[in-house]
Each structure stands twice: as C-alpha cells, then as structure tokens.
A and B are shown apart, each in its own frame.
Chain A
C-alpha cells in the first residue's frame, strides 16, 4: 500500500510540472502584458506616462526577461509559496486567493456529497425497476439536469430563492459577514446560502452517475450468486444492499476523480452568475486584464485541487479494492 501511494505521489510531480508549463504558455499567449494595457488605459484618460517608470516597473516584475526565465522564476517561486504579485489588486496573489480557494473547496465537497445523495437512491431504484415508468421518468429527469445550462438554472433559482425564501440575492453569506473573521455565525450563514450553488452544480453531474450505477447494478443483478441468494430466500432489499450494491460501490469513489474537473468548472460559471466569492469572477477579470500571475496562479490552484482530489479518490479506491492495490493501479 505504501508503495502504491508513493508511486502515485511521484507520478504527480511530472503532471504538475507539465500543467504549470501549459498554464504559463497560455497566460503568456495574448500579445502585450498588463503594463501595456495599463498604459493604454491611462493614456485614454488623458494622463501622461513616463516611459522610464514603466520600463522600471517592467524590469521589477521581470516582464522584460525571456519566456523561459520568467517561467522558471514563477515556477520556483511557487515552490517557496510565492505565487507572484497581482497587478490589478496591488497585493501578493496569495492574499487575493486565500479564502476564495477555501470556499471553492467547500462548494465542491458539498456538491460531491449532494450528487451522491441524489444519485444513490435513484440509481438503485432505476436498476431494480428497469424499464418501468419510474425508471424512464427519473432517467429523463437526470438528463434534464444534464441538459440545462448551469448558469441559467442558477439565475432562475436565485430569483425563486429570493421571492419564496427571502434569501439575500447572490453571494455565499450574508453581507455583514463579508470581511468578518471566521465564526460560528458566519459558517451558518454560508451553509444557508450554500444549497443553491450546490444544487445547481450538482444537477449536471447526477445523470451520468445515475446511469453508471444503474448499468453496474444491472450487470451484478443477473449474476448467479444473486440468483442463489434469492433462491435461498434472502429478502429483496437485504439482497440488494448486501452484495451487488457493495460491488458497484467502487466506482462511486473512483468517479470523484473524473467528477472534480467538471464540478470545479461548474462552480466557476455558477460563481459568476451568483457572484459567489469563489474563484470564478476574479479569474475572468484577471484573464481579461492580463493580470498574468493572478490568472496563472488561480489556474494552477484549480489544477492542483483536481490533482489532489484524484489522488485521494485513487487511494480510497485502492483501500477498497485489493485488485487495484496489488496490480499497481489503473494508471
């Protein structure tokens, strides 16, 4: 087991290096840099800019260095916990990111739990009642969730949550807690607002999960050991829970890995609509204003989050399923 985890951890390193390189290439792709658009903005307002000052700034931030040197500086800085400087906010990136990333993690975790809670009973029902009206209806419902664009659902839910429940529009907490220290009340306020984004993001993932649980269960339900158990008089529900469900459970854990990227994607776009203080809105504005270190570090954090999530799910799967542990994994 230790060998498996160690191998898995070592494999993460090259993945992260490649990811960081791709990210840096992408944020460097647009022509010009933040200072250029900054100068253009100042000039459009009729202010004059001292070229020497700009050149000094450019030198200070290393923007005049060749590409590879810039990348190495950025990448090695990250290893020391220095993620660069956000031009737009005038703050180190870590200060801007801080809480936001934590909130993204919370939203993602709750979404995964929500997806499980919904997909589990529905998947069981549709598998045991194959081709019944309930099966068709619930499957259609799942697909509807998949087909509805997240952002629109968010908008509509926002409106109805406000009209029916009187919850303040947007955000992830009541306004008075925005800059407050972490406290019990703040946590409760967050939980109160959390359900809208969680439902909105969760709906798009449940359909796939329901379908897969259904398919896995259907495979198991026709196996001889189930028939034997039934012939021996095991009650239907106990029969379902005791063996076939446990066999098809593995993928629930394994799926976290493939679900995470889409959950974080969903969280981003929903965050923009609901103006959640997670990463979405800032990432967009950082990308548009070429605030490259902020955008790059954001993307890097999101990727890191996913990679760690996949790692955790792989380890959990290996604990659950000795076949994976012994064969060295599904790499």
Chain B
C-alpha cells in the first residue's frame, strides 16, 4: 500500500488483474462446487449437540450388535441367592489404597419384620473386577460360541451394577439385551411408515385431484384418532398363539400403520410445489412414467427433509412400544424390551422398595432425547441453500 504524493489517495501495490472479480478463490470454489450432502454435513456439524447425539445413537446401535459381549451375564442367567439385590457400588480405593475397580463381598440378611432382604457389603473381602474375562457361555450372532464378557467379577463374587429383579436376573444385562428390541422396533417401524408415507403422499401430491383428496381424508381420519387407544385395539387383535417374534413384527406394523400420516403430508405438500418445476415438465414431455418422475426427479429433492422428519418420529414409536408393553398389550416375555422390563415396575411397591427396577427408563429417556436433538440438527441442515 502506498500513498500517491499529489492527491493523497491510497493505492495497492499488488499487480493489477482485471479478471480478479470473475475468478473465485479456492475456498469459494470448495463451497460452490460442494454437493448438497456435503453442504448439509457442514451445516449439521455446526450443531454440536446434534452431532454428539448422532454419535451417541450410532454407538448405541452398534452396541446392540455385541450385546452378548457387553452384558456381564447371559439373558436367562438367574442368581437365586441374590433376589431383589439393589445396585452394587463399585469402589476404587480399599482402606486408602488404590486397587482399581473392585466390589466388596455382597451379603444379605432377612429382615423378618418387613419381610425384606437387606443387602450389605462385606468389606473384608475385596474382589477386583476382571475385563475380557470368561463368564456365561453364549452364541455370538448364532454362529460361533464364546464366553468372553467385557467385565465380570471373580468366580464366587456377585456383580450387579444395576441390581437384580424378582428372579435374581441382572438388570444391567437385561437392559443391554432389551436395547436390541426397543431400538430396532423404532427403526423397522419407521421404514414401514416411510414406504407408506412416501408412496401415498407421493401419489397424492403428484396426481392431485381425487387421489389427493381421498388420501387427505384418510390421513385426516387417522390423525383425528387418539393413537394409544387405537394401538391398544389393534394389538388386542394379535392372536395369543403367535410366537413372540411374530408379535414383535405385528406390533411394529401397528405402530407404523398410524405413523405414516405425518410423512405423507410432508411429501404431498412438497410435491405439490415441485411438480410445477420445469425439470419435472421436461421429464414428462420426454415420456417418463409418473412413478419414474416421482422416484427419479421429485423425491431426491426432498429426501433430506424426509429423513429429518422420519428421525423425529422414531421417538414416538419407541415410546409407543414402551407404553403398550407396559400395559401388557405389547411385547411379552421371554422377549426382553425396555417396555417389558418396565412392565415389572408396574406397582407402587417397586417405587417404594425396589426403585432400581425403574432404571430401564433411563436409556428410554436418553434415546428419545438423542433422537429429538439429532432430528432437530438434521432438520436445520436439510436445506443447506437457505443460509
């Protein structure tokens, strides 16, 4: 930068390039040529909480793949000596000395006045926890046998980090196994309702006219119905003789049957606008069939919005399963889901005496919160060109 002596103007020293305004810098190039998904990722990344929740959800879904390994005990193992044991504390220091994570001996006395088992620690016995240790045998993915667990207590000691239930089954293990059903039910359900919603909403939005108004009426009817009573009625329809796995699919379908309306509405309103675009007209003039126009030209434009709103409706399904199972109309033992676990926490005694049986609600709350924040972030990122 230098100053012109006669006028006092400032003039840049840099060589003059008349085309500089027409050229773009590498950063601009990166921004302008980025694909839609890349832009969305950049916007999404800025929402720290959503990013964190997304990672959390991925970790949880991955953990259901290795549930057998993560759970300290097998699903059906009963510890008849430890019935209704409260959560056992994990210690690090024994008499001021660092030992690493360990548990003390775990013993109970019968309190005959209140007819309760009172558990207490026997501080003379120290059991350091072992990792990647051998415990209950299991079949991994039904393919190979193993008995490795992430953490377990030495031979005769007990390790109930979240306590045990009325049959002496470890709550932590049951919650980890329960995640399998509770988490997948939302995912499978949303796939079914996604297909229903996109198909019906797509046709309604593309064709308009009587197709549109009949789909509109159907969604209106379904939306004006309190969903829980309808879920209850539908799940009362499932035959008692069905095997648990069929009941699982039945419940999933029931949850999905009432859920697709929101998606259908979103698809319809977006398609109503998009079908007027020139590229849609071009595709039609070149002889593309309606299904192809919808699938190939219209849906990709709104896919990101759809994924975001689908994510936001997964929590309702997970809560729905929990509520139905709690009422005894949903999944039934031996299937273990968080709702089935909570079904055992049904009476007031549990709240007063065995409050740890309500612990399965913690993962439910965490998952629902995570899905909500994650979906929020996705929705903000769904339209990256807005900013």
Interface positions of A (Cβ within 8 A of B):
14-15, 18-19, 22-23, 26-27, 29-31, 143-144, 146-152, 155-156, 158-159, 169, 258, 260-262, 264-266, 268-269, 272-273, 283-284, 287-288, 295, 298-299, 302-303, 306-307, 310
Contacts and interface: CB of A to CB of B under 8 A. Distances in A.
Contact of B233 (A19, A149, A287): A287
Interface string B351-382: 11000001001001100110011000000000
Contacts of B342: 149, 151-152
Contacts of A261: 223-227
Interface string B301-316: 0000000000000010
B223 A151 contact: no
B228 A265 contact: yes
A299 B221 CA distance: 13
Contacts of B81: none
A143 B322 CA distance: 18
A303 B222 CA distance: 10
Given A261-B227, A302-B229, A303-B225, A149 B369 contact: no
B348 A22 contact: no
B365 A262 contact: no
Contacts of A268: 226, 228-229, 232
Contacts of A283: 229, 232
Contact of A147 (B221, B350, B369): B369
Given A27-B233, A147-B364, A284-B232, A18 B323 contact: no
B322 A155 contact: no
5 cross-chain pairs, A with B, having the tightest CB-CB distances, nearest first = A265-B228, A147-B368, A264-B226, A287-B236, A159-B351
Interface string B229-250: 1101110110100000000000
7 contacts: A149-B319, A149-B361, A149-B364, A269-B326, A272-B327, A284-B329, A287-B236
Given A27-B233, A302-B229, 20 more contacts: A19-B225, A26-B234, A143-B373, A146-B315, A146-B368, A147-B368, A149-B323, A149-B364, A155-B345, A258-B223, A261-B224, A261-B226, A265-B228, A268-B226, A272-B327, A283-B232, A287-B232, A287-B233, A306-B225, A310-B224
What band does the interface of chain B fall in when counting residues whose beta carbon is under 8 Å from A?
A: 35 or more
Contacts of A156: 351, 358
B239 A31 contact: yes
A150 B326 CA distance: 11
User: For the complex, would chain B's binding face be called helix, strand, loop or mixed by DSSP majority?
Assistant: helix
B54 to A, nearest CB: 16
Nearest to B328: A284
B32 to A, nearest CB: 28
A306 B232 contact: no
Given A147-B372, A156-B351, A299-B230, A306 B224 contact: yes
Nearest to B365: A147
B217 interface: yes
A238 B236 CA distance: 54
A150 B234 CA distance: 21
Nearest to B320: A265
User: For the complex, would chain A's binding face be called helix, strand, loop or mixed by DSSP majority?
Assistant: helix
B220 interface: yes
Given A31-B239, A147-B368, A156-B351, A299 B233 contact: yes
Nearest to A305: B226
Nearest to A272: B327
Nearest to B225: A303
Contacts of A150: 323
Contact of B365 (A148, A306, A307): A148
B213 to A, nearest CB: 10
Contacts of B230: 26, 299
B229 to A, nearest CB: 6
Contacts of B237: 26, 29-30
Interface in B279-324: 315, 319, 322-323
B228 A269 contact: yes
A279 to B, nearest CB: 8
A144 B369 CA distance: 7
A299 B354 CA distance: 36
Contacts of B221: 15, 18-19, 22
A123 to B, nearest CB: 16
Contacts of B322: 149
Nearest to A287: B236
A22 B224 CA distance: 13
B383 to A, nearest CB: 15
Contacts of B228: 264-266, 268-269
Contacts of A307: 224
A148 B221 CA distance: 28
B353 to A, nearest CB: 11
A288 B235 CA distance: 10
B278 to A, nearest CB: 28
Contacts of A265: 226-229
Contacts of B369: 143-144, 147
A166 B233 CA distance: 36
Contacts of B358: 152, 155-156
A256 B372 CA distance: 22
A149 B338 CA distance: 11
A152 B346 CA distance: 8
A262 B227 contact: yes
Contacts of A302: 225-226, 229
Contacts of A272: 327
Given A22-B221, A261-B227, A159 B352 contact: yes
A27 B232 CA distance: 11
Looking at B223, B232, B350, B361, the one whose CB has the most chain A CB atoms below 10 A away is B232
Given A15-B217, A156-B351, A264 B323 contact: no
A19 B220 CA distance: 10
A2 B345 CA distance: 53
Contacts of B232: 268, 283-284, 287
A169 B351 CA distance: 13
B238 to A, nearest CB: 9
